Structure 1
Amino acid sequence: MRAVDIIRKKRDGQALGADEIAWMVGGIASGEVADYQWSALLMAIVWRGMDAAETAALTDAMMRSGSVVDLSATPGRKIDKHSTGGVGDKTSLILAPIATAAGVPVPMVSGRGLGHTGGTLDKLEAIPGYRVDLDLDRYTAVLDACGLVLIGPTAAIAPADKRLYALRDATATVESIPLLAASIMSKKLAEGIDGLVLDVKAGDGAFLPRLDDARTLARTMCGIGRSLGKSMRALITRMDQPLGRSVGSAVEVAEAVACLRGEGPEDLVGLSLELAAEMVVMGGRAGSLHEARATCRRAIADGSALERLRRVVSAQGGDPRAIDDPSRLPAARLRIDLPAPRSGVVHALAARPIGHATMLLGAGRARVDSVIDPGVGVLLHKKAGDPVEAGEPLCTVLVNDESARAAVLAMIAGSYTIGDGPVEIPDLIVERLG
């Protein structure tokens, strides 16, 4: 085979065969395919698209470019969840212990935040001592001991995807839905899972703001998973305003723990329970969502979900005392309240500028190699639908670097819309697919 022939074929709008795709992916490691040739193919894919068979073949080839974890010796159906990301999205820290307490093994390989979106790994690393860099043997050992493991990507899992993502980032080809779906699914399916629940975000703070694009991505990923023998379910959820009432690393850990105590914000608890319930049904531990919801609520009420979080934190080198005592988590030096400019009702709280503001504080990454400050963030006292009096704090900004203070406060102030009279808040879950 020749790369130029494969590039030309896709350029001309023809479907590539699985053998051609596998050869191109294999050429990354062998050196037979140059970066500039893959860059040309990526742009051809953006313009010409990929059908379902091509996308599944690309996923399979990238998955097989590294290790595919064998968890067959671990009892039960192994189920994971993936979110396309947003602002204040800490559901993984809540739903994974809940599903595990309900009897579902959860092997989870998560990512870091980039831009206005937060990452699960950054939140976990706010827990003193917590290690996300386990090798695959330790990954399996922690899963067997705790029923749950929460780590970051390893060099052994889908290494071709890492190289292709760097090329996509440099060639303006990140947003292609087939490429995005294959990237996500190649890593997830290499974890050794039997099924995957997807939380695909749409709205202001989502990676794909348009609902139609989110729906297409969800359907594409479900199709890939099913074609490779996995159970799939997708929820399309709104990310028009931040999820929960905290944005930042340590503050989101504290809020996740509050949810596991039954004390968290209604939107965050509700979505976490729905996703966990889907995992419990997929894992064969309940015959219906109604039964699974009751099981998940019991895991919170009896403390078993919180205990699972303590156990996995300890097993991965973290200080479990930080789960019960938030003062052991990193904290910012300054707390600055942002007062409401007028009385009324919050009609909207735009998620994206809140995400950008926390990035300026140091809680997010402008670049992949940016260093996270785990103690900074924003506590949201008022969200859409909440009444507010003039001068009452809309939020509290947690600051270490005062040089960003003015820009951050202005950005957050601009994210609020305050009007007169009540406002209707749409359901967080738009639809379920799969």
Structure 2
Amino acid sequence: MNVIDIIVAKRDGRELTPAQIDWVVEAYARDAVAEEQMAALSMAVLWRGMSRAEVSRWTEAMTRSGTRLDFADLPRPTTDKHSTGGVGDKITLALTPAVAACGAAVPQLSGRGLGHTGGTLDKLEAIPGWRSHLSPTEMRSALRDVGGVVCAAGPDLAPADRKLYALRDVTGTVESIPLIASSIMSKKLAEGTGALVLDVKVGSGAFMKTMSDARALARTMVDIGTDHEVATVALLTAMDTPVGREVGNAREVAEACEVLAGGGPEDVVELTVALGREMLSAAGLTAAKDPATALADGSAMDVWRRMVRAQGGDPDAPLPTAREHAQILAGRSGVVRRLDALAVGRAAWSLGAGRDRKEDSVSAGAGVRLHAKPGDRIQASQPLFTLYTDEADRLQDAARELTDSYTVEDVAPDHTLGPPASLVLERVANDHRN
């Protein structure tokens, strides 16, 4: 094989053969293909795209570059969820124990936040003592004894993808849907789950800004899962407005615990239940307890507490709080019609809840509290946001991010507001319900 021939073939719009894909991924993983050569191939893929067969084979090659976990011997069927990332997206925290309480095993490999989107591991590390790095043996024990685990992917899971992901980030090829889809799915296939539900965010606070792009990504990932005999479903969910009312690591943990206690914001509960039902259905547990029941009867909270303890955390320990805070007040009365997720995410990042680079640290207590969301009535001088940070000099930049983030409109006092729109916009699958 010759890497130049492969680059030229894709540059000219030709379909790569399975042998070409297998060779170039394996050679790149062992440094036999130079970074600049893989950068050129990635750019060719960005411009020319990939067929379903190419994407499926590319994903398989990425998965094969490392080890693949196998939980087939567990007494419960495995099912997992992946979110493409958003603002206030603490769904995994309540979803994993809720689905485990309904009879499934949930091996949730999660990541860290970057830029305006939060990371599940950053949130959970706000819990004193909790640790994200587990061995395969520890994962298996947690799945068998508790039913759910949330941890970091080990370095031997899809290492070729980890290397390519870093390259795409600095070569302007992040936006390639085939490469996004294969990156996500190679890690999920390596994780060894039997069923997978994808939460593909769409809107201002999401990576995918339009329905057409989100739909294309969802379809590509569902097809990859189907081709590899993993029951896969995708829900397109709205991310123009943050999920819930808390954005920031410890703040989102606290809100997730409200949901696990049977309360919490309606949108967080809605999405948790919708994704949980899809996960159980994909795993074949159609007669299982409903996730809404698990949240209401306390069984999800019981699993949560056991999950936290199994990873060294103390579920009763106080969560970190920020040293400084400030409020932004409404300038007029009316109804909130718009609250931009991207602006809120950037404000939380400015306060210290996020990072610029993967090696940066984050503040556990930093974040934003949303006192009003679209559809809520607000009075002049009533708080719209509370900002939390450990460094007072961050408050001004965060407030600036929120200056044009919302719209308040007049409405008659007796005007009846309709129910909020569902977060679930569309379902993508290869089953009879699609």
* Interval containing the TM-score (normalised by the shorter chain): over 0.9
User: In the alignment, which of 379, 382, 395 is matched to residue 392 of structure 1?
Assistant: 382
> Can you list the C-alpha shifts for 1:97-126, whole angstroms capped at 9, x where unaligned?
110000011001001111111111111111
Which residue identity does 2:341 align to in structure 1? A
Which residue identity does 2:269 align to in structure 1? V
Aligned-residue offset at 1:158: 0.6
Q: Verify: 1:13 aligned to 2:8, yes or no.
A: no
Q: Which runs of 4+ in 1 moved over 4 A?
A: 422-425
The residue aligned with 1:357 is 347
Aligned-residue offset at 1:29: 2.9
Aligned-residue offset at 1:22: 1.0
The CA distance in 2 between the partners of 1:96 and 1:296, in whole Å, is 10
| 1:379–1:397 Cα contact (<8 Å) kept | yes
Aligned-residue offset at 1:227: 0.1
For the residue of structure 2 that corresponds to 1:321, the secondary structure is coil
The CA distance in 1 between the partners of 2:325 and 2:31, in whole Å, is 52
The CA distance in 2 between the partners of 1:175 and 1:365, in whole Å, is 20
User: In the alignment, which of 265, 279, 301 is matched to residue 306 of structure 1?
Assistant: 301
For the residue of structure 2 that corresponds to 1:367, the secondary structure is coil
The residue aligned with 2:128 is 128
Q: Verify: 1:4 aligned to 2:4, yes or no.
A: yes
The residue aligned with 1:319 is 314
For the residue of structure 1 that corresponds to 2:402, the secondary structure is helix
Aligned-residue offset at 1:283: 2.0
The residue aligned with 1:230 is 230
Query: RMSD over aligned Cα, in angstroms?
Result: 1.2
Q: Verify: 1:426 aligned to 2:426, yes or no.
A: no
> Can you list the C-alpha shifts for 1:121-177, whole angstroms capped at 9, x where unaligned?
111111111111112222222211211111012101111011000110110000100
Q: Verify: 1:110 aligned to 2:100, yes or no.
A: no
| 2:262–2:297 Cα contact (<8 Å) kept | no
The residue aligned with 1:45 is 45
The CA distance in 2 between the partners of 1:150 and 1:132, in whole Å, is 7
For the residue of structure 2 that corresponds to 1:414, the secondary structure is coil
Pairwise mapping of residues 91-106 of structure 1 onto structure 2 (< 5 A)?
91-106=91-106
The CA distance in 1 between the partners of 2:147 and 2:390, in whole Å, is 37
The CA distance in 2 between the partners of 1:4 and 1:406, in whole Å, is 51
The residue aligned with 1:345 is 335
Pairwise mapping of residues 398-413 of structure 1 onto structure 2 (< 5 A)?
398-413=388-403
The CA distance in 2 between the partners of 1:332 and 1:171, in whole Å, is 36
Residue segments in structure 2 that go unaligned for 5+ positions in a row: 430-434
Larger mean Cα displacement after TM superposition, 423-432 or 220-229: 423-432
The CA distance in 2 between the partners of 1:186 and 1:308, in whole Å, is 28
For the residue of structure 1 that corresponds to 2:191, the secondary structure is coil
The residue aligned with 2:432 is none
Pairwise mapping of residues 180-191 of structure 1 onto structure 2 (< 5 A)?
180-191=180-191
Pairwise mapping of residues 139-158 of structure 1 onto structure 2 (< 5 A)?
139-158=139-158
The CA distance in 1 between the partners of 2:31 and 2:335, in whole Å, is 60
For the residue of structure 2 that corresponds to 1:69, the secondary structure is coil
> Can you list the C-alpha shifts for 1:365-413, whole angstroms capped at 9, x where unaligned?
1222221101111111101111100000012111211111112112223
The CA distance in 2 between the partners of 1:36 and 1:295, in whole Å, is 50
Larger mean Cα displacement after TM superposition, 258-267 or 424-433: 424-433
The residue aligned with 1:282 is 282
| 2:336–2:375 Cα contact (<8 Å) kept | yes
Which residue identity does 2:354 align to in structure 1? G
The CA distance in 1 between the partners of 2:41 and 2:133, in whole Å, is 32
Aligned-residue offset at 1:335: 2.5
For the residue of structure 2 that corresponds to 1:286, the secondary structure is coil
For the residue of structure 1 that corresponds to 2:98, the secondary structure is helix
Pairwise mapping of residues 160-179 of structure 1 onto structure 2 (< 5 A)?
160-179=160-179
| 1:100–1:148 Cα contact (<8 Å) kept | yes
Which residue identity does 2:373 align to in structure 1? K
For the residue of structure 2 that corresponds to 1:233, the secondary structure is strand
The CA distance in 1 between the partners of 2:31 and 2:278, in whole Å, is 42
Q: Verify: 1:369 aligned to 2:364, yes or no.
A: no
| 1:113–1:122 Cα contact (<8 Å) kept | yes
The CA distance in 2 between the partners of 1:367 and 1:210, in whole Å, is 26
Pairwise mapping of residues 194-343 of structure 1 onto structure 2 (< 5 A)?
194-287=194-287, 295-322=290-317, 328-343=318-333
The CA distance in 2 between the partners of 1:243 and 1:122, in whole Å, is 17
Structure whose residues are more often helix by fraction: 1
- Output the TM-score relative to the length of structure 2: 0.96
Which residue identity does 1:25 align to in structure 2? V
> Can you list the C-alpha shifts for 1:39-86, whole angstroms capped at 9, x where unaligned?
110010001100101001111010111110011111222100001110
The CA distance in 1 between the partners of 2:217 and 2:101, in whole Å, is 30
The CA distance in 2 between the partners of 1:58 and 1:153, in whole Å, is 20
Aligned-residue offset at 1:200: 0.4
Aligned-residue offset at 1:320: 2.1
The residue aligned with 1:325 is none
The count of residues paired between Structure 1 and Structure 2 equals 424
For the residue of structure 2 that corresponds to 1:357, the secondary structure is helix
The CA distance in 2 between the partners of 1:34 and 1:407, in whole Å, is 41
The CA distance in 1 between the partners of 2:136 and 2:21, in whole Å, is 27
- Output the TM-score relative to the length of structure 1: 0.96
| 2:326–2:395 Cα contact (<8 Å) kept | no
Which residue identity does 2:233 align to in structure 1? R
The CA distance in 1 between the partners of 2:150 and 2:347, in whole Å, is 27
Identity of aligned residues (%): 50
Aligned-residue offset at 1:238: 0.4
| 2:201–2:236 Cα contact (<8 Å) kept | yes
| 2:324–2:391 Cα contact (<8 Å) kept | no
